[in-house]
């Protein structure tokens, strides 16, 4: 990373349902611009808890030329995609990243490229997992990656991220299929250093159990 990374989560009691606390197993990463040329990452984090803010909107990460702030846990829903609350919506399935427009924007973009590449590598994902706000709701966002009707900035951003992935992206051989009662599940497991890991939610729910997550104790709870 080119800058500091700080966890500064908004409270669950934050008004206007900005942190609903719904568990999320993310499958994509969505990129936004803040649309505020004078706002820093800390400003954007504090806006989420500002009493004058009446919007039901939130995001997981915000980044500027100096820092990244994690505003919500990356496994919880945030309201950033403008496409409702269905299970397949961006709000319920995607990590939302706000890129600030203030200060040295080129440095901020460098930071954003490094951050996104890191998140993709950690998850074994490629750039096909990247989304624009536009992809979910049609809003022209990230607006600074849109140029006269063309998404030239977006194409360049993805290329820059892809360059950072090439030496480190996990090989396909690390993924394993999961069959339950003879049926192939959509979710994949992983095989690393001789240890096989499978997604607990997919397995438990297939057996009819309910799965929840306690953020305070970092505990997965399975009830049947």
Q: Do 72 and 143 fall into the same domain?
A: yes
The Cα–Cα gap between 100 and 63 comes to 6
- State which residues form the domain around 203: 172-223
Of 77, 82, 101, 86, the C-alpha closest to 26 is 77
Residue 56 and residue 18 share a domain: yes
Q: Which tens digit of pLDDT belongs to each residue from 39-70? A: 999 999 999 999 999 999 999 999 999 999 99
What band does 1 get if pLDDT is binned at 50, 70 and 90? low
- pLDDT reading at 220 higher than 90: no
Mark whether 43 and 121 lie in a shared domain: yes
**pLDDT value at position 28?**
98
CA-CA distance, 31 to 14, in Å (whole number)? 23
- The verdict on 143 and 207 lying in the same domain is no
Query: Do 116 and 190 reside in the same domain of the chain?
Result: no
Do 64 and 160 fall into the same domain?
Answer: yes
In the predicted model, what is the mean pLDDT of the chain?
Answer: 92
Is the pLDDT reported for residue 18 higher than 60?
yes
Q: Among 142, 165, 188, which residue terminates a domain? A: 165
In this structure, are 122 and 203 located in the same domain? Answer: no
pLDDT score at 177: 87
pLDDT at residue 214 in the model: 84
Specify burial of residue 162 (Cβ count, 10 A radius: 0-12, 13-18, 19+).
Answer: middle
pLDDT given at position 161:
97
Backbone angles phi, psi at 211, to 5 degrees: -120, 135
Residues 107 and 194 occupy one common structural domain: no
- The tens digit of pLDDT for each residue in 154-184 reads 999 999 999 999 754 455 557 888 888 888 8
Could you tell me if 93 and 113 lie in one domain?
A: yes
* Pair 84, 145 in one domain: yes
Question: Do residues 142 and 184 share a domain?
Answer: no
116 and 60, same structural domain? yes
């Amino acid at each position: 990373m080119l800058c500091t990374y700080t966890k500064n989560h908004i409270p669950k009691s934050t008004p206007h349902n900005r942190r609903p606390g719904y568990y999320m197993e993310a499958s994509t990463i969505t990129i936004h611009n803040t649309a505020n040329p004078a706002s820093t990452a800390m400003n954007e984090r504090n806006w989420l808890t500002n009493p004058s803010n009446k919007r039901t909107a939130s995001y997981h990460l915000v980044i500027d030329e100096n820092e990244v702030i994690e505003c919500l846990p990356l496994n919880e829903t945030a309201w950033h995609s403008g496409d409702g609350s269905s299970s397949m919506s961006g709000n319920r399935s995607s990590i939302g990243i706000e890129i600030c427009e203030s200060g040295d924007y080129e440095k901020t973009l460098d930071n954003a490229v490094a951050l996104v590449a890191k998140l993709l590598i950690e998850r074994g994902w490629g750039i096909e997992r990247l989304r624009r706000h536009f992809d979910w709701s049609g809003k022209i966002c990230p607006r600074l990656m849109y140029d006269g009707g063309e998404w030239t900035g977006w194409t360049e951003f993805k290329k820059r991220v892809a360059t950072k992935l090439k030496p480190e992206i996990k090989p396909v051989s690390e993924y394993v299929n999961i069959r339950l009662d003879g049926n192939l599940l959509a979710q994949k497991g992983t095989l690393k250093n001789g240890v096989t890991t499978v997604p607990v939610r997919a397995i438990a729910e297939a057996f009819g159990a309910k799965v929840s997550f306690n953020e305070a104790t970092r505990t997965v709870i399975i009830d049947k």
